[in-house]
Structure 1
Amino acid sequence: MPRIVRAAAIQMSPVLGDDGLGTARKVCQAIRDAAEKGVALAVFPETVVPYYPYFSFIQPAFRFGGEHLELYERAPVIPGPVTDMVAEAAREAGMVVVLGVNERDFGTLYNTQIIFDATGEILLKRRKITPTYHERMVWGQGDGAGLKVVDSAAGRIGALACWEHYNPLARYALMTQHEEIHCAQFPGSLVGQIFSDQMEVTIRHHALESGCFVVNATGWLTEEQIKEIAGDPTLEGPLRGGCFTAIVSPEGKLLGTPLTEGEGMVIADLDFALITKRKRMMDSVGHYARPELLSLLHDRRPARPVQYVGENTPSFKSPDEVTP
């Protein structure tokens, strides 16, 4: 039987300076708006809740302590009020939702991707394995436990954030699990046009190599937000451009017109017959692979600060083990 899933890549700006719930409320409204358009899968930008730490890109670390502490105060815990709110919206809409958040786990923040099923259940909570450049002063590192593809109401879904797509082994780890839809997230409003150009190449290449659909969402800053974050006209330039919200077919074709500025949605119907059409010719983890020559070792054990041994010692469950 034909299998078609309507997907939306959602480009949006965060809510700055509130209690930390404003962006989550905006996400829930976008879910409701997408549901009215028949969307079954919605992907939101990287750490859009409560907002991406743009301040860390334009300021030296010794100056952004105040902004970093504010992000701690607004960052959600998982599970918590933010995930409950989004889970309810996903459940009411019958929609699979992929959301990027700044996750607070006691004294550390993480760049975390959450996949909610159409029932509202959290199928996956994964942390970016290596924060990029300036991000290393903001977030901790994830582990191999999060490099996982999950079965959802929309299909088999994998996810990576931003420059994780430049780690070919991380991408291959998901490819070996036969992802049908790859959900990519980038911050947007960063670096300039070259970031958009690189992003397009990256997501189109992954679609071709993996033989899957790619739904990519980037954030967006308004001019007022740029001025607020920069605080200095000479620092505003690096916070413009760098948006490329788009959907790509397994043949590397752009479905619909990408969004490079402003808020909005790119919506496309994903025809899963195209996956087989692509993989019939080139299945990089099947008939086109040579595992006797080249293979990947993937350590899926959660990273833990302590291991308990013995019958009478307390049990410990890593936050990365939210789901099987």
Structure 2
Amino acid sequence: MKNFKVAVVQSSPILFNLGETILKVGDLVGEASTQGAKLILFPEAFIPAYPRGLTFGTIVGSRSKEGRELWLKYWENAIEIPSSEIDVLGNYAKKAGAYLAIGVIEREAKGGTLYCTLLYFGPNGDLLGKHRKLKPTASERIIWGEGDGSTLSTFDTEFGTIGGLICWENYMPLARMAMYRKGVDIYLAPTADHRDTWQATMQHIALEGRCFVLACNQFVTKDQYPKDLPGLHELENQPEVMTRGGSVIISPMGEVMAGPLFGKEGVLYADIDMHEIGKSKMDFDVIGHYARHDVFDLTIHDQPETVSVNKHKEC
């Protein structure tokens, strides 16, 4: 399949509400599928929220009771794998006959650590796999654990290889190179970055990787936060528009195909012609004729992290 339609969903979750957000995802997937989309992307941390503006009661050396209550709310509305919620998301993909990629907050079933995760579902409804964010940025490190190289994932489909990185992972040159090495054709970049400068990064990745780039962000206003949310008073000095979007679709030659969309919810669509990737490789191929493998080398540790204990090790 060389030609198909993609959709990038710029919307807001029902913040801190797992069940209601799952239902909203179903409506949005249905909307995109009626337009013929065969690949549908949602933003970073869409389920249950990207908690912009909140501190979770943390300062260096202490945590507050209110912050722990907020954390509990966030933790309880995260998603586990496997779970009935995963099954529902898979059913949405199956009903749409499309690939679905969506940013979630994943709760580890054993231990309870939270991860910022990108889930991939196939058009048969199966969970194909996931990517856990390698390095949460700044205060994100308080609430999310770090992924490892085992989830630097790409997936072969009938129209090409899909994969991607989350938000500021896209500023990590070696992480991008790992994606290119895995042959990514459709590069997904769910994010929470709504700055104008993000657009230049997305165009750079398209040109560097000679791939289509689908970048996706939320549009969230302050009045969408639950009124009974612990720590809500921290938003008093925040702007009314907390996240203004900036979703965009870019060609392998760095040309903007749809968007960027700012200031409202909406769904971007683009018709993808996979022949454009082949044309773009004529003068630049970051893992091929432009790579200089005799000079540079990249090692990717792509096995799960393990902890070994040697009881007889001498100190």
TM-score (norm 2): 0.89
State the Cα distance separating 1:206 from its structure 2 match: 0.4
| Cα deviation digits, residues 145-185 of structure 1 (max 9, x gap) | 11121112442011110000010100000101111100111
Aligned to 2:237: 235
Contact 1:118/1:153 (8 A) holds in 2:
no
Q: Give the stretch that moved more between structures: 224-233 or 102-111.
A: 224-233
C-alpha separation between the residues in 2 aligned to 1:125 and 1:148? 7
Q: Give the stretch that moved more between structures: 64-73 or 149-158.
A: 149-158
State the Cα distance separating 1:51 from its structure 2 match: 1.0
State the Cα distance separating 1:238 from its structure 2 match: 8.9
Contact 1:118/1:152 (8 A) holds in 2:
no
Question: Which has the larger strand fraction?
Answer: 2
Aligned to 1:284: 286
Aligned to 1:69: 72
Aligned to 2:223: 224
Report the secondary structure of 1:237's partner residue. coil
For structure 2, list consecutive stretches of 5 or more residues without a partner in the other structure.
310-315
Aligned to 2:24: 26
Aligned to 2:86: 83
Distance 1:155 1:65, change over 3 A: same
Aligned length: 300
Distance 1:277 1:223, change over 3 A: same
Letter in 1 for 2:94: R
Distance 1:169 1:108, change over 3 A: same
Contact 1:87/1:121 (8 A) holds in 2:
yes
1:148-159 matches, cutoff 5 A: 148-159=153-164
State the Cα distance separating 1:305 from its structure 2 match: 4.2
Question: Which has the larger helix fraction?
Answer: 1
C-alpha separation between the residues in 2 aligned to 1:17 and 1:300? 32
How many percent identity over aligned positions? Answer: 33
Aligned to 1:258: 260
Query: 2:5 aligned with 1:3, yes or no?
Result: no
Distance 1:302 1:58, change over 3 A: closer
Contact 2:220/2:244 (8 A) holds in 1:
no
Letter in 1 for 2:211: C
C-alpha separation between the residues in 1 aligned to 2:165 and 2:212? 13
C-alpha separation between the residues in 2 aligned to 1:37 and 1:173? 33
Distance 1:139 1:232, change over 3 A: closer
The structure 2 residue matched to 1:43, chosen from 20, 28, 41, is: 41
Aligned to 1:102: 105
Distance 1:17 1:124, change over 3 A: closer
| Cα deviation digits, residues 253-281 of structure 1 (max 9, x gap) | 11123211211101001111110111111
1:292-303 matches, cutoff 5 A: 292-303=294-305
Q: Give the stretch that moved more between structures: 97-106 or 231-240.
A: 231-240
Query: 2:142 aligned with 1:137, yes or no?
Result: yes
C-alpha separation between the residues in 1 aligned to 2:298 and 2:33? 39
Distance 1:238 1:58, change over 3 A: farther
C-alpha separation between the residues in 1 aligned to 2:122 and 2:189? 17
Distance 1:22 1:249, change over 3 A: same
Distance 1:13 1:4, change over 3 A: same
State the Cα distance separating 1:239 from its structure 2 match: 5.8
Letter in 1 for 2:117: T
Query: 2:172 aligned with 1:173, yes or no?
Result: no
C-alpha separation between the residues in 1 aligned to 2:237 and 2:226? 9
C-alpha separation between the residues in 1 aligned to 2:102 and 2:127? 11
Contact 1:158/1:183 (8 A) holds in 2:
yes
State the Cα distance separating 1:66 from its structure 2 match: 1.8
Letter in 2 for 1:290: R
Q: Give the stretch that moved more between structures: 62-71 or 51-60.
A: 51-60
C-alpha separation between the residues in 1 aligned to 2:154 and 2:7? 19
State the Cα distance separating 1:59 from its structure 2 match: 6.0
Q: Give the stretch that moved more between structures: 226-235 or 237-246.
A: 226-235
RMSD: 2.1
Contact 1:117/1:153 (8 A) holds in 2:
no
Letter in 2 for 1:150: F
The structure 1 residue matched to 2:192, chosen from 187, 195, 205, is: 187
For structure 1, list consecutive stretches of 5 or more residues without a partner in the other structure.
189-194, 308-324
TM-score (norm 1): 0.87
Contact 2:130/2:153 (8 A) holds in 1:
no
Distance 1:236 1:58, change over 3 A: farther
Contact 1:159/1:182 (8 A) holds in 2:
yes
Distance 1:34 1:304, change over 3 A: same
